[in-house]
Amino acid sequence: MKPANPQDIENSPEDNPLTHWSDGGLVVIPTETVYGLAADATRDDAVAKIYALKNRPSFNPLIAHVADAQMAKHYVQWNDWAEQLSIAFWPGPITLILPLLPHATISALATDGGDTLGVRCPLHGVTLPLIKAFGKPVVAPSANRSGRISPTSAQHVREEFGDDAPLIIDGGACTVGIESTVIDLTDEVPVLLRPGAITQDMIEAVLGVSVHLPHQVSNEQVRLKSPGMLTRHYAPTTPLRLDATQVHAGEALLAFGMHVPGGASHIFNLSMHGDLVEAASRLFEGLRALDACGASRIAVMPLPTEGIGAAIADRLKRASAAE
C-alpha cells in the first residue's frame, strides 16, 4: 500500500470538495466513464480555470453534471425524449443535449456562448451525492490536458497534471472507461454526436424512433450543431477589429492590461493585471457589454496567445468572422 497522497480526499476543510467548488476552485471527480475536471457550472471564473489547466486551444462546450433530472430541469428545456432516456439510463453514461433555458445561470464560457447545454447524471457512489450536496451542476471535461487520452484512474490524473493537479477524489478505476454517449435532442430527430456505452440501438429501443448519425443529417443541420460553429454561438453584431493598438473614431475598446490606448467611446478591460485566466472568464461579458453600447466597431487589443490565450484568440477570431 502506498502512503496516502495529500491530494486524496481527507477530512480537513481544505480538502473538502464542496469548499473548493464554493470558492471557485477545481476538483477532479471520478465517474463511471472517465475522471472529470469539475467546477461550479454557474461561475465564469471557475470555468476559466478548467480551460487554463487543460490548455485547450478553444472553448468547446462542457457537460454539466447533475444529481438527477430534477436538477437538470432548472437549467435546460426538458422534453419527452429527455424524460424517457433519463428514466432508462440515468444515472449512467449518456449526455443529453437540450436547449438552455433563457434565464439559466450557467456560465457562458461553459457553453461557449451557445444556446444548448449537455447534461449528464454520472453513476458514481461518491460523485453523485457530492453534486447533490453542492446543489447545482458542475461542468467537467475529461481530466486530461488537451489532445491527450482521458484518465480512468486517479493515478492517471496525477501523472497528467503533476504539481498542477487540483484536489483529486480517488474513486478507484472507472468501470466504463470511455466517455459518455452524447445525444442531441434539440431537433426533430435525435442525433448521436458521440458513441459510447449506451448504444444507438439501446436509445432507439427506448425512444421508438430512429436515431441519426451526424452524416445522415443535412449539411446545414450539422453546421448548426457542431460545437463552436458561430450560428449557434454568441457573436456580437458589432464588427470586431482584432489586434488593435490604437482606437479609431466611433470604436469601443476591449482592453487587456494596464497600458490602454485612449479615445474609445466605451472600454471593457478583460484584465487590468494582464491575467489571461481572468480575461477568459470575462470575455463573453465584455463582448456583450460593448456590443450593447452602440459603437460602430469594437477594437480588440492584442492578447498573449500562450496557455488559455490560444482559446481566447480562437474565440475572438470566430466572433470577428461572423456575418
Question: Where along the sequence are the contacts to Mg ion (CB under 5 A)?
Answer: 142
Phi, psi of 45 (to 5 degrees): -65, -35
Q: Where are the alpha helices (DSSP H) in 123-166?
A: 127-134, 154-161
Rule CB under 6 A: say whether 151 interacts with ligand TXA: no
Of 106 and 277, the one with the shorter C-beta distance to ligand TXA is 106
160 near ligand TXA, rule: CB under 6 A: no
Least distance (Å) between residue 118 CB and ligand TXA: 3
- Nearest CA to 113 out of 47, 16, 206 is that of 47
Contact 182, 213 (CB under 8 A): no
> Residue 55 interacts with ligand TXA (CB under 6 A)?
no
Check binding of 63 to ligand TXA (CB under 6 A): yes
Q: Is residue 150 classed as helix, strand or coil in its secondary structure?
A: coil
For ligand TXA, the closer CB: 63 or 254: 63
* DSSP string for residues in 62-82: -EEE-SSHHHHTTTB---HHH
Q: Which three cell numbers stand for residue 95?
A: 449526455
Q: Using CB atoms, what's the residue nearest to ligand TXA?
A: 36
- Could you give the CA distance from residue 323 to residue 320 in angstroms, rounded to a whole number? 8
HSE on the CB side for 66, CA within 13 Å?
20
| Cα–Cα distance, 106 to 287 (Å, whole number) | 17
CB 91 within 8 Å of CB 123: yes
107 binds ligand TXA (CB under 6 A): no
Cα(131)–Cα(122) distance, rounded to whole angstroms? Answer: 10
Q: Which is nearer to Mg ion, 32 or 251 (CB)?
A: 32
- The nearer residue to ligand TXA, 62 or 154, going by C-beta atoms, is 62
Binding mask 176-215 for ligand TXA (x = CB under 6 A): ---xx-x----------xx---------------------
Say how far apart CA 40 and CA 29 lie, in whole Å: 13
Going by C-beta distance under 8 Å and a sequence separation of 6 or more, which residues neighbour residue 151? 34, 35, 142, 143, 144, 157, 160
Q: How many residues bind ligand TXA (CB under 6 A)?
A: 25
Residue from the set 17, 92, 113, 114 that interacts with ligand TXA by CB under 6 A: 114
| CA 132 – CA 128 distance, rounded (Å) | 6
Binding site partner of 117, from ligand TXA, Mg ion, none, Cβ cut-off 5-8 A by kind = ligand TXA
At 101, the amino acid letter reads L
Q: Is 146 one of the binding residues for ligand TXA (CB under 6 A)?
A: no
* Residue 108 binds to ligand TXA (criterion: CB under 6 A): no
Nearer to ligand TXA, 85 or 182 (CB): 182
In the complex with ligand TXA, which residue's Cβ is closer, 193 or 247?
Answer: 193
Residue 194 interacting partner from ligand TXA, Mg ion, none (CB closer than 5 to 8 Å by kind):
ligand TXA
Interaction partner, residue 61 (Mg ion, ligand TXA, none; CB < 5-8 Å by kind): ligand TXA
- Which residues lie near ligand TXA (CB under 6 A)? 31, 33-34, 36, 60-63, 95, 97, 114, 116-118, 120, 122, 140-142, 179-180, 182, 193-194, 227
